[in-house]
């Protein structure tokens, strides 16, 4: 992972702090916010588990708040019959006109693949879904899911391979999240009314508790303190603040999208009878 060239970063008047944390300790980095004991941190802070039963799911959030960053998490999803469950991992701001960058893993029957659902919200407006099937079993081992968010683009990656890029096209009238600090959140919850085959397949509670496991949380980000800081603008070569996909990264992303994308809002003309969103036309 590239280090930041601090000589290229303009220090703002307000207090923004650059942090780079790879050796995660969940005791230090996150707090479990709901679930009445269903979320657990073990192994001296190296492992976090969320569980879901018929009565409740569970969730946690980062202690830090970010305005741009690169966030990585290793996750092992619910194994077996996970139909009706959703494991969510995302960045989100507060308020009614929130910004949000989503990974959601929609469970399925044993032997059937998960659906990886991605979305971007800006000022409370989303409808930018892309969905994928994964090219591996996400329940047999940990895999790394990454969100790169800088002033130019958002890149969703799986094990270092980009699967989606959402570019800043404000000049063409497309909203882009760049003003509201966000925290990292994750949760495991019941969504049997819609998550699996549109709600046709319900959760089998005899398989509960359902468990998702986490490790390897890392944050390379601008952390906002006291809600009144701005992120410095840097452009150092290789820095996440100006990172973009090279030709190899673009090629690998096209391979994923050609072979594993199952829904793209930009090709759903029936959903947008008055015309596709502007960012789709410019892509």
Catalytic residue numbers?
Answer: 100, 104
- Give a three-class secondary structure readout of the chain: CCCCCHHHCCCCCCCEEEEEECCCCHHHHEEEEECCCCEEEEHHHCEEEEEECCCCCEEEEECCCEEEEEEEEEEECCCCCCCCEEEEEEEECCCCCCCEEEEEEECCCCCCCCEEEEEEEECCECCCCEEECCCCCCCCCCEEEEEEECCCEEEEEECCEEEEEEECCHHHCCCCCCCCCEEEEEEEEECCCCCCHHHCCCCCHHHCCEEEEEEEEEEEEEEECCCCCCCCCCCCCCCCCCCCCCHHHHHHHHHHHHHHEEEEHHHCCCCCCCCCCHHHHHC
């Amino acid at each position: 992972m590239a280090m930041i060239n601090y000589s290229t970063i303009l220090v703002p008047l307000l207090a923004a702090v650059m942090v780079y944390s790879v050796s995660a300790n969940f005791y230090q980095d996150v707090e479990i916010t709901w679930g009445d004991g269903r979320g657990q941190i073990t192994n001296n802070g190296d492992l976090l588990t969320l569980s879901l039963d018929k009565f409740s799911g569970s969730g946690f959030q980062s202690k830090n708040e970010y305005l741009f960053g690169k966030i990585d998490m290793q996750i092992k999803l619910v194994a077996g019959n996970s139909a009706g469950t959703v494991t969510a991992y995302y960045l989100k701001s507060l308020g009614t006109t929130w910004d949000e960058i989503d990974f959601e893993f929609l469970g399925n029957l044993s032997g059937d693949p998960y659906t990886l659902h991605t979305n971007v919200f800006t000022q409370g407006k989303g409808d930018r879904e892309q969905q994928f099937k994964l090219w591996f079993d996400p329940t047999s081992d940990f895999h790394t899911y990454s969100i790169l968010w800088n002033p130019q683009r958002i890149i969703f990656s799986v094990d270092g391979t980009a699967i989606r890029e959402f570019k800043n096209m404000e000049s063409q009238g497309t909203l882009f999240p760049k003003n509201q600090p966000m925290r990292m959140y994750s949760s495991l919850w019941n969504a049997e009314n819609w998550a699996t085959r549109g709600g046709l397949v319900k959760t089998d509670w005899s398989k509960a508790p359902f468990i998702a496991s986490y490790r390897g949380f890392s944050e390379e980000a601008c952390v906002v303190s006291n809600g009144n800081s701005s992120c410095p603008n840097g452009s150092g070569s290789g820095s996440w603040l100006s990172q973009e996909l090279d030709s190899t990264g673009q090629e690998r992303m096209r391979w994923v999208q050609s072979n594993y994308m199952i829904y793209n809002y930009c090709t759903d003309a029936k959903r947008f009878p008055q015309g596709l969103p502007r960012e789709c036309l410019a892509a």
